[in-house]
Amino acid sequence: MALQIIEFFGYSPRDKSTAAGATRQSLACPFVGGTCTKTLRGDGGAKVVGGACTVRQATPSPVICCPKRLYAGRYRILQDVAEAVFGPGLPFVPGSQVSVDPRVGNRVFAFGSSLGGEVRLPPIRGRGGFFVDWILALVDKQGELKEFVAVEVQSIDTTGNYRKEREAHLAEREFAGYSNAGINWENVNKRILPQLIYKGHVLRRETLCKAGLFFVCPTPVYEKISVRVGGNLTKYPAPAPGTLTFRWYNIGPEVRSGQMRKLVFEDQLTTTVEQLAYAFLSPGNLPPEDSYAKAIRAKIKALGV
């Protein structure tokens, strides 16, 4: 446990500037606008706006804990992917603003929950409806689809509760120590990796998905994934049908009062869905043989048996 908030409503919790105070008082998200959608349990069990964008636990490395923090710079991460796949210079159009104009050439339409809604496929055998976070669609001047790429965006969830730290920061009081909260790293194993494998297999059946699936995440999340699969992901030279490209970002260095830290692209790795599936099912970083038996014996001995 022992968690500490590093970015609160976009700013350092210690920032006493007018800009930082205004976002706290309005409970606003400075990255995508509107009220912050990060919630936690308050007094009496009611949900309250959390406000934590980035946290730290145990190590000096900050971890982005809200996916909307990754959308800084007018969804710059999506524009980066579009440029990497379709080439530079194409107009980037939010899904809520799409239109057909024969005077305009090729452009990229971005479809996602906050920009026109996700593109959902029909239910399979009556169950569910598959979708990814974002579809970036390359269309021509008649509005015809030429190619598309899928993008998943993931931060990391927190566990426990940081309500007392939140209240102190909202009141601009110093908060000593750490919150009774933590980071849900196990979510990487239970949810993130299985979903990437499944969605990657679905997308490789799409003839117009020529660059596969992109997964955008904070640097520490990618590092945890790399450890979980034993560092055994074979690197491929470029995105292609059936590939999975990891792109990871971090927050930049601390800034002066009234400013927000930049979102910094650090690196990417392209592999295949099969490589990830094999590495996930056959990890190379297992503990020594009979480690569980040793731990059980130690537990029995500690109980005085």
pTM: 0.89
Q: CA 86, CA 93: separation in Å to the nearest integer?
A: 14
Q: What is the pLDDT of residue 128?
A: 59
For the cut 80, the answer to whether the pLDDT of residue 283 exceeds it is no
Tell whether the model's pLDDT for residue 91 goes beyond 70.
yes
pLDDT at residue 127 in the model: 62
| pLDDT on residue 59 | 65
pLDDT for 298 beyond 70: yes
Q: What percent of the chain has pLDDT over 90?
A: 61
pLDDT band at 102 (very low <50, low <70, confident <90, very high): low
Residue 153 has pLDDT above 60, yes or no: yes
Mean pLDDT of the chain: 89
Say if residues 261 and 7 touch (Cβ distance below 8 Å): yes
Q: What is the pLDDT of residue 122?
A: 66
Alpha carbon 228 to its chain centroid, in Å, reads: 17
Quote the CA–CA distance of 31 and 73 in Å, as a whole number: 7
Please name the residue ranges forming H helices in the chain. Answer: 18-26, 72-86, 163-170, 186-187, 193-203, 219-228, 273-281, 291-302
List all residues 6 or more positions away from 264 whose beta carbon is below 8 Å from its beta carbon. Answer: 249, 250, 251, 252
Q: Give pLDDT, residue 46.
A: 82
Tell me the average pLDDT across 190-209: 91
Q: Look-up: residue for tokens 């452009």?
A: 107
Would you list the domain boundaries of the chain?
1-65+156-184, 67-154+185-305
Calculate the alpha carbon distances from 209 to 81, 127, 140, 191, 304 in Å: 13, 24, 16, 23, 61
Cα separation, 29 vs 38, in Å, equals 9
Amino acid identity of residue 25, one-letter, is: Q
Cα first-last separation, the chain: 31
More confident residue, 18 or 187: 18
Percent of the chain predicted with pLDDT > 70: 93
Instruction: Retrieve residue 34's tokens.
Output: 């509107």
